[in-house]
Amino acid sequence: MHDSDGLSPGSLVRRWRLGRQLRSLRETSGKTMNEAAAYIGVKRPTISRIETGKQAILAKNVKFLCQLYDVATPEAETLMNRAERSNERGWWASYSDVMPDWFEIYVGFEADAKEIWLFCSEWVPGILQTAAHHRALQVGNLGRSDERGIEFRQERQARVAARKPRLRIVLNEAVLRRRIGDMGEQIAHLVDESQRGHVTLQVLPFDSGPHVAMTGSFNVLTLPGESQPNFVYLEQADSATYLERSVDLGLYSRTFTSLTEQALSPGESRDFLATLVR
C-alpha cells in the first residue's frame, strides 16, 4: 500500500497496518486467535489488541507469530523491522498524564488522519475550542482548570492545523446555544476556522427537525493511503469504542452524509454563526 496524498503515516498508523498484516497472515494460515495466543504465551485479548493496533507490537512476538504462520524468513524480518518502527513514541505520549489511555489512542490516529469527520451534539470539538472555552468546560466539570491539559489541547490543535487534514464538521445547534464561558469569542473562532481551505463546518439547526444521529456524537477517521474511512470513534464518560467493521463504517458514513445534507450549507452556517455574536 502506498500513500498518494502526501501524508506520511506515524507510529500508530504503522502499528495498525502491521496488525492488519498479522491478522491476514493468521487467517491465511488457518490459525485461530487462541492458537496464536497459546504459541506466544499471552491471552486471546492480547492477540486481538495486536491485530487492531491497540497496543505495542513487540518484534519478538512478531517473530514467533511468523513461525506459527509459516512466514518465509525475508518477510518475517521485514515485519519485525516494522514492529520496531511502530513503537516509536508519538508527540502525544508526553501528555499521557492529562488524558486516559483510550483517548491517547484516538489522538494518535487523529495525528495521522488525512480526513476527519465530526458530528458534535453537545460540545465544541477539542480541535476547535479556544483556551478560554476549554477552561470554562474544566471548571464546570471538574471544579478547576488544568493548564497542562490546555497546553496539550493547544499543541494538538497546532499540529492538526499544520498538517491540514480535510475536516468536515457538523455542529448541532445545541453546541452553540449552551453557555460555556465567553461564547462570543468561541463562535467568532469557529467562523474564522470555517474559512480555512481544509475545513468544512455546517450547523444542524433546531428547526430542521429530527435527524439520524440523535443518539449522540461520533467521529470518523480516514488514514493516509486509504480510500475509505477506517474508524468510527464513540466516546463515553470513562471509555471509548472503536468500530472497524465494514458494516459499521458504512452505517456511520451514510449517517454523516445524511447530516451534511440536512444541515445548513457552509455559507449559511457562517451567516448563522455571525448572528450569534452580534
pLDDT in tens, 160-169: 999 999 999 9
Is pLDDT at 133 greater than 50 in this prediction? yes
Please report whether residue 192 resides in a domain. yes
Count of domains observed in the chain? 2
The pTM score is: 0.82
Mean pLDDT of the chain: 92
Mean pLDDT of 188-203: 97
Distance in angstroms (rounded) separating the CA atoms of residues 7 and 202: 25
String of b and e for 85-104 (b: at least 16 CB within 10 Å)?
ebeeeeebeebeebbeebbb
Is residue 29 domain-shared with residue 140, that is, in the same domain? Answer: no
Is residue 175 domain-shared with residue 190, that is, in the same domain? Answer: yes
Please report whether residue 71 resides in a domain. yes
H or E segment and range at residue 202: strand 199-204
Domain end (from 47, 68, 86) = 86
Is pLDDT at 39 greater than 60 in this prediction? yes
Is residue 45 domain-shared with residue 120, that is, in the same domain? Answer: no
Task: For residue range 75-84, list pLDDT tens digits in order.
Answer: 999 999 989 8
Is residue 97 domain-shared with residue 219, that is, in the same domain? Answer: yes
What are phi and psi for residue 202, nearest 5 degrees?
-130, 150
> Which domain covers residue 20, as residue numbers?
11-86
Distance in angstroms (rounded) separating the CA atoms of residues 15 and 24: 14
